[in-house]
Structure 1
Amino acid sequence: MTSSWLLFSSTLVVLVLLGSASTPDEEDDSLMMQREVDLSDLIGSMVEQQPVMLQRELDEPDLPNPFEQTPSILGFRPRSFGLPPSMQYPVEFPLARPTPRNLDDICLYGDRRPHYPDSYFPSSGYGQLKRQAKAVNRVESWYRSCCERNQTWASGVTLCCAQRAWTRSLKVFCKESSSVKDRLHHCCKRSGNNVFSCFNSEAVNPHYQPTEEIPAPPLTSTPNFNFDPSTCQGYF
């Protein structure tokens, strides 16, 4: 756009200089002819250049898209751009206490809730989140064991099994957390049954509803869960 205006200004200066060297009558005729010729050429030149200049102004450089997505085990998440670790690598922890009201969904949607393979996290760092993910993997695997044996047990034993799996998984989580130099989860600092009440109150999916569109592959690296149905007095 700037070059077009410079060309226009230069042409006007030439016209003025030519006019000053002519007689009055010649000046009028000369200016009229000069304007017809020069202005038409100038306008044509500007019309040809205008689309190019406008296009350059409208074209913006390629900028990084802050919402560009990268794959994860939970589907897709935005790139970090300074987000805290819990938002870069979200973990649905803690899980809720199994109850008669959510037990069916625990068994039915086990593969439609998040699982966290080792590849989900970077190789170093994120220790606390990794322990939370490990606790989720552990209890979800134990739930599956309880649910698979449901048809061979008396009524109420599956619930007892799921509750034992849940409490044991949280005990292991608190034990592992207290053995490293890291900030201990505040629920682990409580005593007795208050530990489990604290975790239960903070569950993000208390009804164990499915949150994943694609079924998660089974986890194979979880320790076995030894459960004795004879210890479930009061569940029958």
Structure 2
Amino acid sequence: MCKIDPKDQLKPYFPPARPSVENLSALCSNGGSRPRYPESCIPPLGHAYFRRKATAVNRVEAWFSQCCQRDVAKEDQQILCCVKQAWETALSQFCTDEFSAMTIAYGCCKKKDEERWSCFDKKAPNPSYQPHAGYTAPSVPSDMIFTWEPSTLNSADQLMVPYSPSKIPSNPNSKPKRGTGKKIIHHGLDKHPFQHFNSQFIPLGGGQNIDPDVLLESSFPPAQPSLTNLNAICLHGSGRDRYPASIFPPSGYAYARRAGNAVNRLEAWFSQCCNEDVARGNREILCCAKQAWEAALSQFCTEEFSTMTMAHECCERKGEDRWNCFTKQAPNPFYKSLPGYLAPVVPADRMFTWDPNTC
């Protein structure tokens, strides 16, 4: 049984307040006495809006705990940076879930950037992160993985890096053409471009520059797993593209980020499927890989529809039509690796659990 009635008791705890120097101590020390909302507390039918808010609370509390352990962040300044990033990530995902529900979204979600964060903070019923008297929180693991990006500690410095006007794409915030089925030939792509950079372009060598939207055309969308490409999926994963956050300029390129995240998730989940501790034999591995592929692209489409811009055309389709659309547009149907490239480790930001019963 739930010690707290979730429907009645969520209001005093959502939205969570923005982490600050003033509430950081309580945020970390009182975490075990603030409410969680395990699945058993939520009625099995209906209450979808409540479920989304409760999930956001569970996520942010799990991620706060991760930040406060000092194994991840050492000093108070780092911990504050970590919990702020966790808070923004949890509420951003809440807004993504809100917009995907096809109902009236939470008011703060309709705002952007600092206006959104200020809106949530003003509505927070527990700004000082006080505990609930006599309550011990159950363990509720987050359904998503959070990885703190320490480089945001110096984000102001990154934004002050001078850009060379001759090397900046003409409009980094312009909407990319997507879902056209056309492929772009990348000159010199065998010399892989991924490096840390401080300008709004990625160097390809030989004086050529290319922006992230164009670069993604070599790997997105990924092809549907099949018996024809399964061996390459499993053997060549470390030689295919990854898109760590550090390769993107500090602003813009939202579509490229979503597509890059989809590739990162899928490659991490492919690695999981190809590990024989999860699935055994080609039949099970293929089933797992297909399920991972559909889950990654489904999440991509959910994020596409939440952005209030034109979604990828394949996302507009349903069922098998959607999967066929993505497969036809895949630029690398045989999952070939890039010569001389070793992929960085980019953990998936969401968990994937293979369901063998679907095979």
Q: Which residue of 2 aligns with 1:73?
A: 194
Find the aligned partners of 1:203 and 1:90 in 2 and give their Cα distance: 9
AA in 1 matched with 2:247: Y
Equivalent residue runs for 1:129-140 within 5 Å: 129-140=256-267
Per-residue deviation, residues 39-93 of structure 1 (Å, max 9, x unmatched): xxxxxxxxxxxxxxxxxxxxxxxxx99x9xx98317942554xx77633665620
AA in 2 matched with 1:102: N
RMSD (CA atoms) = 2.9
The CA deviation at 1:231 is 2.5
Deviates more, 1:84-93 or 1:135-144: 84-93
Call closer, same or farther: CA 1:72–1:231 in 2, change over 3 Å.
same
The CA deviation at 1:221 is 4.2
The CA deviation at 1:213 is 1.0
- Tell me the secondary structure at the aligned position of residue 198 of structure 1: helix
- Tell me the secondary structure at the aligned position of residue 72 of structure 1: coil
1:96–1:205 CA contact under 8 A, matched in 2: yes
Call closer, same or farther: CA 1:177–1:147 in 2, change over 3 Å.
same
Whether 1:126 and 2:253 are equivalent positions in the alignment is: yes
Q: Which residue of 1 aligns with 2:336?
A: 209
1:103–1:159 CA contact under 8 A, matched in 2: yes
Equivalent residue runs for 1:192-207 within 5 Å: 192-207=319-334
Alignment TM-score, normalising by the size of structure 1? 0.62
AA in 1 matched with 2:293: W
Find the aligned partners of 1:227 and 1:199 in 2 and give their Cα distance: 21
Find the aligned partners of 1:198 and 1:139 in 2 and give their Cα distance: 17
Per-residue deviation, residues 7-30 of structure 1 (Å, max 9, x unmatched): xxxxxxxxxxxxxxxxxxxxxxxx
In our comparison, the structure showing a higher alpha carbon Rg is: 1
Whether 1:166 and 2:287 are equivalent positions in the alignment is: no
Per-residue deviation, residues 182-210 of structure 1 (Å, max 9, x unmatched): 22101111122111100000000100011
AA in 2 matched with 1:157: E
Find the aligned partners of 1:223 and 1:101 in 2 and give their Cα distance: 27
Per residue, is there more helix in 1 or in 2? Answer: 1
Call closer, same or farther: CA 1:221–1:196 in 2, change over 3 Å.
closer
Whether 1:94 and 2:215 are equivalent positions in the alignment is: no
1:128–1:182 CA contact under 8 A, matched in 2: no
Structure 2, unpaired ranges of 5+: 1-165, 168-186, 196-201
Equivalent residue runs for 1:178-193 within 5 Å: 178-193=305-320
Q: Which residue of 1 aligns with 2:69?
A: none
Call closer, same or farther: CA 1:217–1:197 in 2, change over 3 Å.
same
Call closer, same or farther: CA 1:166–1:150 in 2, change over 3 Å.
same
Find the aligned partners of 1:95 and 1:199 in 2 and give their Cα distance: 7
The CA deviation at 1:172 is 0.4
Q: Which residue of 2 aligns with 1:56?
A: none
1:95–1:199 CA contact under 8 A, matched in 2: yes
User: How many residues are paired up?
Assistant: 164
Find the aligned partners of 1:151 and 1:132 in 2 and give their Cα distance: 26
Q: Which residue of 1 aligns with 2:138?
A: none
Could you say which structure has the greater relative contact order, defined with CA pairs below 8 angstroms and 6 or more residues apart?
A: 1
The CA deviation at 1:123 is 1.4
Find the aligned partners of 1:119 and 1:107 in 2 and give their Cα distance: 26
1:91–1:132 CA contact under 8 A, matched in 2: no
Q: Which residue of 2 aligns with 1:156?
A: 283
Find the aligned partners of 2:211 and 2:346 in 1 and give their Cα distance: 27
The CA deviation at 1:211 is 1.4
Q: Which residue of 1 aligns with 2:244?
A: 117
The CA deviation at 1:154 is 4.3
Structure 1, unpaired ranges of 5+: 1-63
Find the aligned partners of 2:230 and 2:192 in 1 and give their Cα distance: 31
Find the aligned partners of 2:217 and 2:281 in 1 and give their Cα distance: 37
AA in 2 matched with 1:179: S
